[in-house]
């Protein structure tokens, strides 16, 4: 069964901490994406990558960075966590021609 | 930027009835459309997709209809079951030219009443 695995289901971090959210896919997909999901706002794209070492900003990249050193792994980094980054974070992967496969999500709370 | 919207935020149906969830999209260049289901506490799950060269596609108990003239997408669920209760998202993309970046709607909550 193909999978997108996010390393943590729940995280609690303090304001100002550097936070790493990890995502691994086993489908050899070219594309990987990070979204955040908030009530009433739907899914908003933070960053995406169409290839190893490649990254592009999505709609809301401020306060985030990403790393894709290997094809199967796409990391989201919160450089200095703030309370407005409390959210559900969803990772997804895809080929160029089909829909996304999502991970189960990481619910991050910044206190 | 372009956006994908949904007509109704909440839809309640009786178990066994058919459900129809609607979606309006605004980018006439979109050529690929998907429906996702998201249960509470889980990531979105792929249901069915359709390309712009088709106007109908059927899966198991689900049918997607695409009307490019009015830029409308719908998901029909036959014989709705309690396990169908979830939030349903439509999404659109432009596959031509490489890449695949989906734009999502805000979702419709489907509630199945026993």
pLDDT tens track for A63-79? 999 999 999 999 999 99
Burial class (CB in 10 A: 0-12, 13-18, 19+), B111: middle
Which parts of chain A sit beneath pLDDT 50? none
pLDDT value at residue B7: 43
Nearest residue of A to residue B104, measured between CA atoms: A43
Of A42, A96, A104, the CB nearest to B43: A104
pLDDT value at residue B105: 83
CB-CB neighbors (< 8 A) of A59 in chain B: 1
Closest chain B C-alpha to A32 CA, distance in angstroms: 10
DSSP designation for A50: S
Binary contact (B91, A104; C-beta < 8 A): no
Binary contact (B43, A31; C-beta < 8 A): no
Binary contact (B100, A40; C-beta < 8 A): no
CB count, 10 Å around CB of B21? 22
pLDDT value at residue B69: 93
Binary contact (B91, A59; C-beta < 8 A): no
Structure tokens at B26: 């605004």
B interface residues, A as partner, C-beta within 8 Å: 1, 32, 34, 36, 41-46, 49, 89, 91, 95, 98-102, 104-107
Contact B32, B93 (CB under 8 A): yes
Query: What is the Cα A39 distance to its own chain's centre?
Result: 17
pLDDT tens track of chain B, all 114 residues? 334 444 448 899 999 999 999 999 988 989 999 999 999 888 999 999 999 999 999 999 999 999 999 999 999 999 999 999 999 999 998 876 566 788 888 789 999 998
Burial code (b: 16+ CB inside 10 Å, e: under 16) for B35-74 equals bbbbeeeebbebbbbbebeeeeeeeeebbbbbebeebebb
pLDDT value at residue A95: 84
């Amino acid at each position: 069964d193909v999978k997108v695995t996010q390393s943590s289901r729940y995280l609690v971090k303090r304001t100002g901490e550097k936070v790493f959210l990890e995502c691994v896919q086993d489908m050899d997909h070219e594309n990987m994406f990070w979204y955040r999901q908030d009530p009433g706002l739907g899914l908003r794209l933070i960053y995406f990558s169409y290839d190893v070492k490649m990254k592009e900003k999505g709609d809301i990249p401020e306060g985030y960075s990403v790393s894709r050193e290997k094809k199967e792994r796409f990391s989201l980094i919160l450089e200095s966590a703030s309370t407005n980054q409390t959210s559900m974070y969803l990772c997804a992967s895809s080929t160029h021609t089909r829909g996304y496969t999502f991970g189960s999500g990481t619910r991050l709370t910044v206190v | 930027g372009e956006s994908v919207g949904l007509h109704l935020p909440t839809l309640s149906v009786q178990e066994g009835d058919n459900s129809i969830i609607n979606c309006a999209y605004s980018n006439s260049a979109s050529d690929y459309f998907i429906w996702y289901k998201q249960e509470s506490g889980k990531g979105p799950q792929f249901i069915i997709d359709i390309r712009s060269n088709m106007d109908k596609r059927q899966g198991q108990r689900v049918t997607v209809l695409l009307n490019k003239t009015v830029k409308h997408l719908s998901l029909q669920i036959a014989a709705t079951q309690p396990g169908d209760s979830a939030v349903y998202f439509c999404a659109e993309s432009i596959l031509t030219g490489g890449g695949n970046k989906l734009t999502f709607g805000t979702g419709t909550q489907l509630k199945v009443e026993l």
